[in-house]
Amino acid sequence: MSYLLHFMDTSQYKTLFLQETEEHLKGINEELLKLENEPHAPSGIDNLFRHFHSIKGMAASMGYETMASFSHQLEDLLDAVRKERINLNQEIVDAVLSGADTLRAFTQLIAEDKPLDMDSQLLSKIQAILTRKEPPAPLLQKEEAVVIPPASAQPAASKLGLSTTMKVDSKVFDNFMGSVGELFTVRSRLREIVTNSFPVEFQEAAHQLGRIIEDLYYAVVTARMIPFEGLTQNLPRIVRDMCKKGGKDVELLIQGGDVKLDRAVLEHMTDPLVHIIRNALDHGIETLEERISLGKPAKGRITVAVARQRNNIIIEITDDGRGIDVNKLKEKALLAGIQEERIKNMADKELLLLICTPGLSLAKEVTETSGRGVGMDIVKGNVESIGGRLEISSYPHQGTKITLELPVTISIVKVLLVSLCDELFAFPISKVLKVMDVNRADIKGDKTCRSVIYNDTEVPIVDLRNILALPSLAEKDPVSVVVIDAKGKISGVIVDDFEGEIDGYIKPLSQPMTRMQGVIGVTVLGDGRPVFLLDPTMLPCPENTYS
């Protein structure tokens, strides 16, 4: 970014500046964590210096003097280490990390067009370190040091060239996906309209258009896919900071970081992943003394493993900590108002999911990071909001495994359309087991508790009209029932009629609908009718539901 920008309207470059700064900050985090483990790595300091130098240059070009000046201070600190005027130690690493955090906070303020506030305490600390008199660093022997030429000494490029990759704002892809999604809806509509009464040429053209739209969709989805490691880049830092605070030593392993999934799915997983890791660190992994007394390795381990399974992504987060105390969980569940009878009849898997109940926490105390019974509630909500599933397994003193099953992409989903009054609603096909017409004579029970036979098993049914507080339909016989798999349990939903399947471009709900219960998203048909995608897991699940 040229100094000439200083004299121009730089607002149009703000997005690019923020993106590039973020990349440099990620690089700084990685280098610092490496340096902590390998303080002798000679290129580490130089790499760090280059990152801060770039941030300083860009910030100065954009007119963010406070940010440029602060980056310069951090450069000075690293330069002093590089020239062996001060020793690299934990204090310096912490100061540089805090400096990087401050720069990140600056980028947030810049994004919101707010003034930048300098952290004077940190600045004083950096000055104090710089003015301290120390002997040269003994760790790095001069004869072992690898000399890296400064950037200006590198040979200049002999010809011009263009990079084959382009940086594109994710919003561009979101808009692209939106347009493709609309095309998908039109394709579905076209399929409905084009019947044998149309000329063959028309049918072929419609079919070909459908194929091209599908190809375009997959091309956009593929372009929007990013590797899972894009999400986990900051996790090592989070683990490091929490370990320091809690006096624990934990190794974080990430497997399958190159598995790609839709950016939209990853966006939903940012909070859940952090919550789960924080819970594992706070409540799962024991203290050093506890681990040694149990004969466990002193260093705890958290593994995040990602794998693709057909159209799903499986993320497993495992820790080797103390596990979940099921008896304590039962006590807390009772206190939270869950019926004793229900708790008694629960299988372990279902019992463990109770930790996702809002307000229910097994923590002895509320810490800065967890313990209020809010985190797992959010995790489950986020996962289910995109049609995913959460499973927990745990063994005392061995650890806990949390498995998230997520769709690879969430934008275009095959749905079953159903009608109610003259409205259309949809269920995800992945949750629909069967659609069937049931004679009223075959419906057992009374109005409060009805059931039908499905696969030789009695399953409860509910009337969607009743759930949506719609007026009752005049007696229809037979009734149309959608058998769904809700939360791993099977139940039936009575609707007015089935209206076929479509590939729906499901848009997330926008304000003021964002926090609506029981609705995953909405699609708009080619004729302008909205179709809300209902969340089967949120429909009432009566006590006598069968699995």
Shortest distance, position 514 Cβ to other proteins, whole Å: 7
Question: Looking at beta carbons only, is 178 or 227 nearer to other proteins?
Answer: 178
Backbone angles phi, psi at 421, to 5 degrees: 55, -130
Site for other proteins in 374-433 (CB under 8 A): 421, 423, 425
Question: Looking at beta carbons only, is 314 or 424 nearer to other proteins?
Answer: 424
**Positive/negative CA dihedral, 191, 195, 199, 203:** positive
Shortest distance, position 380 Cβ to other proteins, whole Å: 16
The two tokens of residue 176 are 């692209």
182 contacts other proteins (rule: CB under 8 A):
yes
Question: Binding residue for other proteins (CB under 8 A) from 68, 209, 226, 538?
Answer: 538
Question: Binding residue for other proteins (CB under 8 A) from 173, 436, 519, 545?
Answer: 519
Can the peptide bond before residue 512 be classed as cis, meaning omega within 30 degrees of 0? Answer: yes
Taking the C-alpha atoms of residue 105 and residue 116, their distance in angstroms, rounded to an integer, is 9
Identify the burial level of 26 via C-beta atoms within 10 angstroms of its C-beta, where 0-12 means exposed, 13-18 middle and 19 or more buried: middle
Q: Are 184 and 525 in contact (CB under 8 A)?
A: no
Question: Looking at beta carbons only, is 158 or 517 nearer to other proteins?
Answer: 517
Taking the C-alpha atoms of residue 541 and residue 469, their distance in angstroms, rounded to an integer, is 17
Please choose, out of 60-68, 310-318, 411-419, 521-529, the segment that lies near other proteins by the rule CB under 8 A.
Answer: 521-529
Please choose, out of 191-199, 248-256, 282-290, 531-539, the segment that lies near other proteins by the rule CB under 8 A.
Answer: 531-539
Q: Are 373 and 357 in contact (CB under 8 A)?
A: yes
Q: Hey, is 58 helix, strand or coil?
A: helix
Please choose, out of 124-132, 165-173, 448-456, 536-544, the segment that lies near other proteins by the rule CB under 8 A.
Answer: 536-544
336 contacts other proteins (rule: CB under 8 A):
no
Q: Give the CA-trace dihedral at 451, 454, 456, 457, to 10 degrees.
A: -50
Closest CA to 472 of 450, 501, 496: 496
Shortest distance, position 395 Cβ to other proteins, whole Å: 33
What's the one-letter identity of residue 188? S
Q: How far is CA 340 from CA 332, 432, 543, in A?
A: 11, 31, 13
Site for other proteins in 457-516 (CB under 8 A): 466-471, 507, 509-516
Shortest distance, position 509 Cβ to other proteins, whole Å: 8
Question: Looking at beta carbons only, is 12 or 511 nearer to other proteins?
Answer: 511
Question: Looking at beta carbons only, is 133 or 171 nearer to other proteins?
Answer: 171
Question: Looking at beta carbons only, is 105 or 421 nearer to other proteins?
Answer: 421
CA angle 470, 473, 477 (to 5 degrees): 145
Question: Looking at beta carbons only, is 159 or 515 nearer to other proteins?
Answer: 515
Map 292-319 to HEC letters: HHCCCCCCEEEEEEEEEECCEEEEEEEE
Please choose, out of 97-105, 256-264, 335-343, 538-546, the segment that lies near other proteins by the rule CB under 8 A.
Answer: 538-546
The two tokens of residue 177 are 């996906």
Question: Looking at beta carbons only, is 453 or 513 nearer to other proteins?
Answer: 513
Taking the C-alpha atoms of residue 362 and residue 332, their distance in angstroms, rounded to an integer, is 7
Question: Looking at beta carbons only, is 346 or 467 nearer to other proteins?
Answer: 467
Residues that bind other proteins (rule: CB under 8 A) add up to a total of: 33
Shortest distance, position 254 Cβ to other proteins, whole Å: 32
Closest CA to 520 of 375, 410, 399: 410
Shortest distance, position 505 Cβ to other proteins, whole Å: 9
Question: Looking at beta carbons only, is 217 or 532 nearer to other proteins?
Answer: 532
172 contacts other proteins (rule: CB under 8 A):
no
Give the position of tokens 């009432």: 540
Q: Give the CA-trace dihedral at 227, 232, 236, 238, to 10 degrees.
A: 170
Mark residues 124-163: x for contact with other proteins by CB under 8 A, - for none: ----------------------------------------
Q: Are 71 and 55 in contact (CB under 8 A)?
A: yes
Shortest distance, position 547 Cβ to other proteins, whole Å: 20
Residues that bind other proteins (CB under 8 A): 178, 182, 421, 423, 425, 466-471, 507, 509-519, 522, 524, 528-530, 532, 534, 538-540
